[in-house]
Amino acid sequence: MCNMNNDIQYFLEEYCGVTFPHSDSLFSLIERKEVLKVLRYPGGQPSSDLAQIYKERAIMANKGSPYSDPKKFSMFTDLVVGLNEYPTELCKLWVFQSNTASYSVFELENIKLIAGCIKAGPLLKQDSES
């Protein structure tokens, strides 16, 4: 079972001070202790496989598509570039969730680099007040 505090500590030890997309807002969220949940998915997926998935998502988010979203298009294409820099490297996914945002961080696990980060709205359901 994962321990959120240990996972955050490990991530900070490896990547604090490293710049990647959305790193400033992610590290600020961690510093303010607003991360409510951390998911660390095991590696094993080649970067090139993930790049192909996000290339397809970028195509869907491109203008002219019924799912057009310029912000997502830019985020996805930046991630594809980062993943394609090391196509045979295995990638691990980290997800940091708060009440305000979620961050999906793609770690090239053997060389300890961040290939990219996608910031999205909160994934956690808010408890409704009675």
Q: How far is CA 38 from the centre of its chain?
A: 11
Give per-residue pLDDT as tens, 68-127: 888 999 999 999 999 999 999 999 999 999 999 999 999 999 999 999 999 998 876 654
In a domain, 107, yes or no: no
- The answer to whether position 60 is within a domain reads yes
Dihedrals phi, psi of 111, to nearest 5 degrees: -105, 0
- Pair 49, 69 in one domain: yes
Q: Poorest-confidence range of 39-43, 44-48, 96-100? A: 39-43
Phi, psi of 125 (to 5 degrees): -80, 135
Identify whether residues 48 and 17 lie together within a single domain: no
Q: Which range of residues forms the domain containing residue 58?
A: 44-93
pLDDT at 31 over 90: yes
pLDDT confidence of residue 123: 74
CB 122 within 8 A of CB 103: no
CA distances from 105 to 38, 65, 120, 130 (A): 11, 26, 11, 35
Same domain? 25 vs 58:
no
Do both 52 and 69 map to the same domain? yes
Q: Worst-scoring range by mean pLDDT, 21-30, 33-42, 65-74, 81-90?
A: 65-74
Please check whether residues 4 and 29 belong to one and the same domain. yes
In a domain, 4, yes or no: yes
What is the maximum span of the chain, computed from C-alpha positions, in angstroms? 51
Q: Could you read off the pLDDT of 55-71 as tens digits, one per residue?
A: 999 999 998 878 888 89
